[in-house]
Structure 1
Amino acid sequence: MKFFLDSANLEEVKKACDYGLVDGVTTNPTLLAREDDDWRGLATRICREVTGPVSLEVFSEEYESMLEEARNLLKLGPNVVIKCPCTQAGLKACRTLSQNDVAVNMTLVFSPLQGLLAAKAGAAYVSPFVGRLDGIAHDGMELVRQLVTIFNTYQFSTEILVASIRSPRHVLESALLGAHVATIPYGVMMGLLKHPLTEQGLTTFREAIYNLEMDKGPQEY
């Protein structure tokens, strides 16, 4: 399973890359707006920092404007993936871009039929938003399960990129269901490493080492 970092913070990107955890990055206008930097320059630096795909989202909701923005976004790095919303205009833009060998991440997917349409339009990725579905008392992981079944049945090359991840549990369930990618906020990604028994074991080891050192007594040289 591939891990993408869901962040526009360059320091988070660098730290996660140092751990070898980043196969790609996803951004959106909200994440870019949180950073005190020109978003174009920031996006360019992220593209240079990461060898994998970097998703950059179009701002417009109209087909022609989406294509124009996509052309400008592609200039920011050779690994740019264009994010389009799962709307009629977004679907049409996805079709046009994919036919011109541009990778598209179809975002804001909340139903299996939306994901199916995105795959048929040639999207490289579809992004089911599991956390937002959970937030309105729906089962976000059920959507992932349905998409995995559909894509496997019809052998789509489109990858399922699980988004709106809120907890390590979302990552685990995505992996168990066979999703191709999880895009994870930095805090959640670091949380994957934590387990109380690991901390307990380290405490026990520290105590044992301390006792061993105390038993040595004065050293003769």
Structure 2
Amino acid sequence: MEFFLDTINLDKIAQFQEIIPVAGVTLTPSIIKREGKVDFFEHAKKIRQLIGTKRTLHIQLVAADCEQLIKDAQAVWQNVDSEVFVKIPLSLDGLKAIQYLKKQGPCHITATATYSRIQGMLAMAEHANYLAVYTSRVENIDGDFPGLIKSLKTYAANNHYGTKIMASSIKSVRQITAAAEAGADAVTFAPDVLTKAFENGALTKALTDFTDDWEALYNKRHIY
């Protein structure tokens, strides 16, 4: 499974690239807002320089209608780079924009705001590269996001689509593991979600016991 970071914080991206196998970075207006206003295109270029070309960069488009979504996509590709995965919401206008952009030639598209099977099925038919299922938001409307992921994975396999299912809008480690068990190809989450998972009293005690027991025997807190 691929692990993506929901952040524009360069320090956190650099930190977690040394801890987990980061596949890329995803950006939305909400993620940017958490860090404060930045020079968007220049900051996106800095992220690209940091993660390199072997990892992928996914940028959410913000326009509502098809024509403006297309212009948004072109602006991102022109001002950042042509390898960016533009994130297009699965409204009717979004589907129209995906179809148009794919017909223009090879391009990278992540279909977002997926709440239903029909959205996912149509995005696959338009050959979206990734399909972002909004896990927390599906749960908030009493939906079954693992069931949705499983269903979309089955549909993709049965119809030989190459679209990858990405679990996004992740708020807890439980959602990451549930998405993995459901067959998601990728998950994207804020670094703090993972940090909190390791703020575990039992884990802290185990580490302390290892060091304390070693010190009691050898009068030092390391092996070397």
* 1:23 partner SS: strand
Aligned length: 215
Shift of the alpha carbon at 1:196? 4.6
- 1:122-161 → structure 2 map (5 Å cutoff): 122-161=127-166
| Counterpart contact for 2:66–2:93, Cα < 8 Å | yes
Provide the residue aligned with 1:68 in structure 2.
71
Shift of the alpha carbon at 1:199? 2.5
Does residue 169 (structure 1) correspond to residue 180 (structure 2)? The answer is no
* 1:55 partner SS: strand
* 1:123 partner SS: coil
In structure 1, the gaps of 5 or more residues are 216-221
Look up the equivalent residue of 1:58 and give its one-letter code: L
Look up the equivalent residue of 1:124 and give its one-letter code: N
TM-superposition CA deviations, 1:50-108 (whole Å, max 9, x none): 13111112221121211111111012024311111101111011112223211111110
Look up the equivalent residue of 1:54 and give its one-letter code: L
Provide the residue aligned with 1:121 in structure 2.
126
CA distance in 2, matches of 1:195, 1:124: 36
Shift of the alpha carbon at 1:201? 2.1
| Counterpart contact for 1:148–1:178, Cα < 8 Å | yes
- 1:33-44 → structure 2 map (5 Å cutoff): 33-34=33-34, 35-44=36-45
Look up the equivalent residue of 2:48 and give its one-letter code: C
| Counterpart contact for 2:147–2:182, Cα < 8 Å | no
* 2:21 partner SS: coil
| Counterpart contact for 2:83–2:107, Cα < 8 Å | no
Q: 1:26 to 1:214 in 2, by over 3 A?
A: closer
TM-superposition CA deviations, 1:90-140 (whole Å, max 9, x none): 101111222321111111000011100001011001111011111233222
Does residue 186 (structure 1) correspond to residue 191 (structure 2)? The answer is yes
| Counterpart contact for 1:97–1:103, Cα < 8 Å | no
The TM-score, its normalising length taken from structure 2, stands at: 0.88
Shift of the alpha carbon at 1:193? 4.7
| Counterpart contact for 1:33–1:39, Cα < 8 Å | no
Provide the residue aligned with 1:77 in structure 2.
81
Shift of the alpha carbon at 1:18? 2.4
Provide the residue aligned with 1:92 in structure 2.
96
Q: Which has the larger radius of gyration?
A: 1
| Counterpart contact for 1:7–1:13, Cα < 8 Å | yes
The TM-score, its normalising length taken from structure 1, stands at: 0.89
Provide the residue aligned with 2:49 in structure 1.
48
CA distance in 2, matches of 1:14, 1:82: 22
CA RMSD after TM alignment: 1.9
Provide the residue aligned with 1:218 in structure 2.
none
CA distance in 2, matches of 1:67, 1:118: 16
CA distance in 1, matches of 2:217, 2:200: 26
